Amino acid sequence: MKKWEDMTEEEREAERQRIITNPEMQHCRIIEHEGSRAVWASKGPIPEKGTRIAINFNGWGKATVKDHIIEQAYFYALAQVDKIPESFKARGHDGLVYVAGVDFKLLEEA
């Protein structure tokens, strides 16, 4: 498979379509963000900057959305966690993580 950065726009669109039509990825949809198309791994809303979320993996817990990022075909929320888990803190992690839509809940829903 070609690297994302080496693909033409047509190849990228074909990859996006392949992802969202995969039966195991039915929770995904294509979104437009700042002139780019990407796959959002959720049927739910995209959290705005400043939104409080609860990340449900690696013990990250509560966080605040700081920005958004597109990596390969996927769109992520870039979030700053409130409390860095000790295992990550010991490795010098700054607590800034990017998460897919299926990996968190809006804090008021958490």
Instruction: Note the pLDDT of residue 81.
Output: 96
How far is it, in rounded angstroms, from Cα 100 to Cα 75? 7
* Dihedral sign from CA coordinates of 42, 44, 45, 49: negative
Topology (CATH level 3) of domain 4-109: SH3 type barrels. (2.30.30)
Q: For the chain, give every domain's residue range.
A: 4-109
How far is it, in rounded angstroms, from Cα 8 to Cα 36? 14
Q: What is the pLDDT along the chain (110 residues), one digit of tens a residue?
A: 788 889 999 999 999 999 989 888 888 999 998 888 999 999 888 999 999 999 998 889 999 999 999 998 999 999 999 999 888 889 998 999 999 999 999 997 54
Quote the pTM value. 0.83
Classify 102 as helix, strand or coil.
Answer: helix
Instruction: Note the pLDDT of residue 109.
Output: 53
User: What string of DSSP letters covers 52-74?
Assistant: EEEE-STT-EEEEEEEEEEETTE
